[in-house]
Amino acid sequence: MPIGTTLTKFLLEEQRRYPDSTGNFTSLFSDLVIAGKILSREVNRAGLADILGATGDKNTHGEEVQKLDEFANSAIIRTMEHGGHLSAMASEEMEDIIKVDSKYPKGNYLLLFDPLDGSSNIDVNISVGTIFSIIKCDNGCDVSTKDFLQAGAEQVCAGYILYGSSTMLVYTTGHGVHGFTLDPSVGEFLLSHENIRIPEKGKIYSINEGNSRHWLPGTSMYIEKLKANEKGPSARYVGSLVADFHRNLLKGGIFLYPADKKSKNGKLRLLYEANPLSFIVEQAGGKSTTGDKRILDIVPDELHQRVPLIIGSKLDVEEAESFWKYQEAR
Ligand code: P6P
């Protein structure tokens, strides 16, 4: 498709590939795009509105809730709940699933999302992002938490919206990874990166070296090996998952948030962080693992479970995996 094609047109072209499609998914995705445009506006004016800073509340994980976090969470729920395509949603900001109110029609999709990942960076104007995952629910509208506990390989769609120097939406439905850049002057996401492929090997590694005192031996050995190499990679770590992932997706590289002595399952969440990014990276030719297991094969036990995440260029991830035999029992 030509550069500059609108996301709406791209989605309709995608839909035409399936003669028996109902258009439900396209409509669902279009609602999500509206939420992304709303969040882009708010994130880009956060410094002006009384929307910076923390609310003083804590989220389900005891983390400080930033005002924009709260706005993003409710904006997505409000935009998505009446479309008639979802039975329920799950948000990083909320302990329990959000069932679509009975006053609205329901559909057979479930939406999982991290409304504003990296939100601690908001006040210092560092890129943040929304991450989303769409799965099917088989039993119609009688949905419960267990319907969300599907392996990442079951995802219908995964994507993220990066609020950076420009706002980009990147997604996959299993037919490649495609990137769209928001043109605020027309209020449309325009095709800018069709069929993104991650380089097989990169020159960037991303890990919080401040945690090195907690690292297990395999992690330490791998990072030391990278550093010992004369032509080794550069370190790049924003502390905002979507920003670090997106840079590595386009340029090649590896992002690691491994299990360590302090966090036996790492920090990042399986269902609405690791799974969607893993679907994307595999569709782009990359790899995503816990160090021992393919992320997309993990059958979740709970909605907000954490998982170690090593994700990026295929050869880089495979090299990291070769060191995981040295990890002591956690
Ligand atoms: P640390 C942001 O809080 C986040 O969830 C991700 O966006 C980011 O990759 C990670 O945590 C950073 O965590 O412990 O390195 O500050």
Residues 6+ apart with CB under 8 A from 103: none
- Whole-angstrom distance, CA of residue 113 vs CA of residue 106: 18
- pLDDT score of 31: 95
Q: Which CATH class is domain 204-329?
A: alpha beta
Atom of ligand 1 nearest to the CA of 120: 3
Domain boundaries, the chain: 7-193, 204-329
Q: What is the pLDDT, as a whole number, of residue 261?
A: 95
Ligand 1 centroid to residue 310 C-alpha, Å: 14
For ligand 1, whether the C-beta of 241 sits within 6 Å is yes
208 Cβ closer than 6 Å to some ligand 1 atom: yes
Consecutive 10-residue averages of pLDDT for the chain (330 residues)? 89 86 89 95 74 72 79 95 95 96 93 93 89 88 90 98 96 97 95 97 98 97 96 96 98 97 96 98 98 97 98 98 82
Q: What is the distance between the alpha carbons of residues 217 and 51, in angstroms, rounded to a whole number?
A: 43
Is residue 240 in contact with ligand 1, taking CB distance under 6 Å? yes
Pocket test for ligand 1, best of 240, 248, 269, 270 (most atoms within 8 A of CB): 240
Q: Could you please state the CATH topology (level 3) that the domain comprising 7-193 is classified under.
A: Fructose-1,6-Bisphosphatase; Chain A, domain 1 (3.30.540)
Distances (CA, A) of 42 to 52, 68, 80, 81: 10, 8, 18, 20
* Nearest residue (CA) to ligand 1, atom 4: 118
Same fold, 7-193 and 204-329: no
